[in-house]
Amino acid sequence: MTAVLQPGVLFGLCGAVLVGIGLFAIATSPVLLRRIVGCNILGVGIFLVFGAVARRGGGAGLEADPVPQALVITGIVVAFSASALAVALLKRLSELSAGDRAGTAAPAEPRSVV
């Protein structure tokens, strides 16, 4: 039991659970917003796994391994951009379909989405 409670292992297990929840949400939910949230949960789980990996570097005599932490920071930036892009697209999609429902035709002029 105490082996499980060590920070490295605990982080790893939590990360694994979050990865599972994220994948489950993405695979089973037909709602796009939920899938995007699922991607975020999956990402957080992966960053926790990186944290566990950094902690295991501590086992090799170091205080903690800084490289995975640097990777996580970059990863967070990338994941944030991905979520922003996904939400922007989703917002545009819901505007377009709302326009259709209100009886007004979708914009005939080609428009940029970015």
Partner 1 sequence: MLFVHETTPGGFLLVLAVILPVCAVLAIIACGPRSATRIAMATLAAGLAVAIAVAAELASSGRAVTYVVGGWHPPLGIALRADGLSGAMLVMTALVIVAVGLFAGGQHRLHAGAGDARTQTTFWLMLLALWSALNATFLGEDLFSLYVALELLTFAAVPLVCLDGRAETVKAALRYLVFALVGSLLYLLGVGLIYGQYGALDLLTLSGQARPDPALSVALALMIVGLLAKAALFPLHLWLPPAHAGAPAPASAVLSALVIKAPVFLILRLVLDVAPQPSAAVVGQLLAVLGAVSILFCSVLALRQARLKLMIAYSTVAQIGYLFIVFPLAAGSAELPPWGTIAWTGGALQLISHALAKAAMFLAAGVIAEAFGHDRIADIGGFGRMLPLSAAAFGLAGLSLMGIPPSGGFVAKCLLLTAAVIEGYPWLAATILTGGLLAGAYVFRVINQALAVPAAPIVVRNKVPRRLEFAALGLAIAAVLLGFVPLRPFGFLQIGRDGLAMAFSP
* Residue 34 in the binding site for partner 1 (CB under 8 A): no
> Alpha-carbon dihedral of residues 19, 62, 68, 23, nearest 10 degrees?
0
Q: How far apart are the first and last CA of the chain?
A: 51
Query: What is d(CA 48, CA 53) in angstroms, rounded to the nearest whole number?
Result: 9
* Residue 97 in the binding site for partner 1 (CB under 8 A): yes
Query: What is d(CA 32, CA 90) in angstroms, rounded to the nearest whole number?
Result: 8
Instruction: Determine which residue in the list 14, 21, 26, 37 makes contact with partner 1, applying CB under 8 A.
Output: 26
- Residue 60 phi, psi (nearest 5): -85, 15
Binding mask 51-70 toward partner 1 (x if CB under 8 A, else -) reads -xx--xx-------x-xx--
* Residue 18 in the binding site for partner 1 (CB under 8 A): no
Residues that bind partner 1 (CB under 8 A): 19, 22-23, 26, 32, 35-36, 39, 42-43, 46, 49-50, 52-53, 56-57, 65, 67-68, 71, 74-75, 78, 81-82, 85-86, 89-90, 92-93, 96-97, 100, 106-107, 109-114
